[in-house]
Structure formats: C-alpha cells, structure tokens
Amino acid sequence: MTHSGNPFGQVLVALVTPMTADGEVDWPAVEKHIDDVITAGADGIVVTGTTGETSTLTDPEKLKLVEVGRSVSAGRAKIITGGGSNETAHAIELYKASEKAGADGIMIVTPYYNKPTQAGILTHFRLVADATDLPVILYDIPGRTGVPIKYETILRLAKHPNILAVKDAKGDFSEVSRVLNQTDLMYFSGDDANVLPHLAIGATGLIGVTANVAAAPYRTIIDAVNAGDLATATAEHKRLEPLVRAVMTHVPGTVAAKYILHGLGRISSPRVRLPLVGPEEWEAALIEDELDLVQNVPGADFSNFRPDRNAAAGGALPKVHGTTR
C-alpha cells in the first residue's frame, strides 16, 4: 500500500506506561496521560516502545495499549505501536495483531541481542513490512540493539512501499542528510537533545521521551521550524535543555520521566518493572538539581514538585512476565 503525505504526525511522544505500585499497568492513568500529552500538542503517540517498557509488557498489554490509545485519541493523534521483537515470526504476528487493534502505524526496532548481519536486518524489516498494510518507521538505535542499520541497508529498505520513515537515535547527521538526499524517507529525531539539529537538516519531527513531561514546547519548535522561524525554535530548544538533561542523562529515560511525572502529580506511581529500578538517592538528587534550572517551560511548572524517592525505589516484579510468545 502506498501512503501519501505524513501518516505519523510530527510531535510524537514515546509514551511511558503508567503502572501501579505493584507493577501492574494503571489503565486509568494511561488514559489520562495520553489525553494530557495530546492536549499539550502531541499529534502522535508511540505506545509499547522502549520508553513504554516494551521488554516487560505482555502481548495482551501491548495490544490493549493500542486499543486504549486509539479510543482516547479519538482521531486527535496517530497511534503508533513500537517495540516489536528480536524474533521475526513473533514481530510479524504482533504487528498484524496491532493493526487489527487499530494502530495507525508501526515502528520496527532493529533485532536486538541476536546481532544479525545487514542481510538479516534487511530480511527482518522486509518481512515485517510485508505482513501489514500499515506505514512503517524503522528504529535505528545501535546503542540498545548492538548493530546499526547501515546506510546501504537503509537505501534498500527505502524501496519498500510501506517503509516511510526512520527514527534516528544514531546521531550521524551526515548520514541523515545523505539518506534524505537520496530517498523519500522521513526522519524522526530519536534523541531529545538533538531534536532541533535534526529538524534543521530536514527531519520531519521527533519521537521524544521528554515530551511525556512537556509536549507543548516541542509543538512550538515544530510549528516554528515549519514557519521558518529559527529564532523561536532555538529559544524553546534552549529553555528545554535542562529538562532534557534531567530526563535523559542520569538514569534511563523511562525511569526519570516517571519519577518526574509522579513528582508533578500526573501519574499515581513512579514504579517501573525489573530489571529497571527507580533512581538511587544520588541519581534522584542529580535529577532534582537539573530540574531546579528549568524555567518558563510550558507544562513543566516545578514550583509544586514533590518527588518521592521511596515510592520510586526498586522495581516491580509483575505477576505475569512478558513472554516472547
């Protein structure tokens, strides 16, 4: 199927999955959080991605997140299902089920742990893209998967009619420019600190973790870039810098985002599932020091910030593990 235009949105939130203190998905909090970020300016939601703790979610939880996202968004934002699997057969079935559940698009991560060759990566992406009519974002994040999607492989994948975009967390700006020059692929910044630089060389949008806390500034940046107003985009980028540092520097982004959202009273618990754990005392102190520097960021008022290090401590062991089948 050929998709015209941009079927994903531009301000995409890599959604955290709110959980209860015992590590079960907090479905009312999921609904509220999705509505919050859409109201703040997000036009795309990536559920079950890295930030959503895909590795420890069960398949039924992943599919319900798609269903809930579609219901809450009610057409206001696209729902993209992320994660996938490092087993091609499982990834195919999961994305086919996600399409039936109402996903608007899929984001396929490079198979992790297996460390496949480029031929294996190419085959994995092609087979998954063949299995669904949904538009596809390739997720290139070698720091987590162990292998990059090489330039030559991206060019070959760009010929697939369903593969429309790349989420780039590799940080090779010269390669991004080269691919943009030689293909019709859209690029989404997958590194919160590099959103504006990516946009400046032609990226379409972002898939951000910090946007869980403050989506509105990213809407401002996108709208400013679309209007050719670099000064406004740069000013917002600078305002966001300490918040981005707080979320992305000291602990995994999921952990920090939940810690901050809970301190702001926007989710009921900062709990993450093992092997992730909440910030240790010194890590929490570093996060809070960064937050002290945040000023005038829309949607991120820390004057009533009440972090709870005890509530965040440790990690949950859910009743049902996230099996691969």
Q: For 198-213, write each residue's pLDDT tens digit.
A: 999 999 999 999 999 9
Give the mean pLDDT of 51-65.
97
pLDDT digits (tens, 9 = 90+) for 152-183: 999 999 999 999 999 999 989 999 999 999 99
Q: Give the pLDDT of residue 242.
A: 98
Q: Give the pLDDT of residue 323.
A: 66
Q: Is it true that domain 9-228 has CATH number 3.40.50.720? A: no
Give the mean pLDDT of 114-123.
97
In the chain, the amino acid numbered 144 is R
Q: Give the pLDDT of residue 125.
A: 98
Q: Give the pLDDT of residue 2.
A: 43
Task: Retrieve residue 158's tokens.
Answer: 């760009």
Task: Retrieve residue 2's tokens.
Answer: 């050929």
What span, in angstroms and rounded, lies between the C-alpha atoms of 276 and 28? 23
Burial 95-132 (b: 16+ CB within 10 A, else e): bebbbebbbbbbbbbbbbebebeeeebbebbbebbebb
Pairing between β-strand 136-140 and β-strand 44-47 as defined by DSSP bridges? unpaired
Backbone φ, ψ for residue 75 (5° rounding):
85, -5
Give the pLDDT band (50/70/90) at residue 325: very low
Backbone φ, ψ for residue 11 (5° rounding):
-100, 95
Active-site residue (options: 64, 78, 167, 258): 167
Q: Give the pLDDT of residue 50.
A: 95
Predicted model pTM: 0.96
For residue 82, which of 186, 30, 8 has the smallest C-alpha distance? 8
Q: Is 167 a catalytic residue?
A: yes
Q: Give the pLDDT of residue 36.
A: 98
The neighbouring-strand residues paired with 163 are 136
Q: Where does 159-283 show beta strands of DSSP type E?
A: 163-168, 186-189, 205-208
Backbone φ, ψ for residue 174 (5° rounding):
-65, -35
Domain boundaries, the chain: 9-228
Q: What is the percent of the chain where pLDDT is above 70?
A: 98
Encode 2-58 in three state secondary structure.
CCCCCCCCCEEEECCCCECCCCCECHHHHHHHHHHHHHCCCCEEEECCCCCCHHHCC
**Angle of CA points 132, 69, 67, to nearest 5°:** 60
Judged against a pLDDT cut of 50, whether residue 1 lies above it is answered with: no
Active-site residue (options: 64, 78, 95, 139): 139
Give the pLDDT band (50/70/90) at residue 313: very high
Give the mean pLDDT of 301-312.
95
Task: Retrieve residue 140's tokens.
Answer: 């290139």
Q: What is the percent of the chain where pLDDT is above 90?
A: 95
Q: Is 258 a catalytic residue?
A: no
More confident residue, 322 or 115: 115
Judged against a pLDDT cut of 70, whether residue 195 lies above it is answered with: yes
**Angle of CA points 270, 276, 280, to nearest 5°:** 70
Contacts 24+ apart (CB under 8 A), 28-37: 29/267, 29/268, 30/65, 30/68, 31/68, 31/71, 31/72, 32/266, 33/212, 33/261, 33/266, 33/267, 34/68, 34/69, 34/72, 34/73, 35/72, 36/266, 37/13, 37/211, 37/212, 37/215
Judged against a pLDDT cut of 80, whether residue 324 lies above it is answered with: no
Q: Give the pLDDT of residue 319.
A: 85
Lowest model confidence (mean pLDDT) among 140-144, 235-239, 268-272: 140-144
Q: Give the pLDDT of residue 59.
A: 96
Give the pLDDT band (50/70/90) at residue 321: confident
pLDDT digits (tens, 9 = 90+) for 269-303: 999 999 999 999 999 999 999 999 999 999 899 99
Give the pLDDT band (50/70/90) at residue 320: confident
pLDDT digits (tens, 9 = 90+) for 69-94: 999 999 999 999 998 899 999 999 99
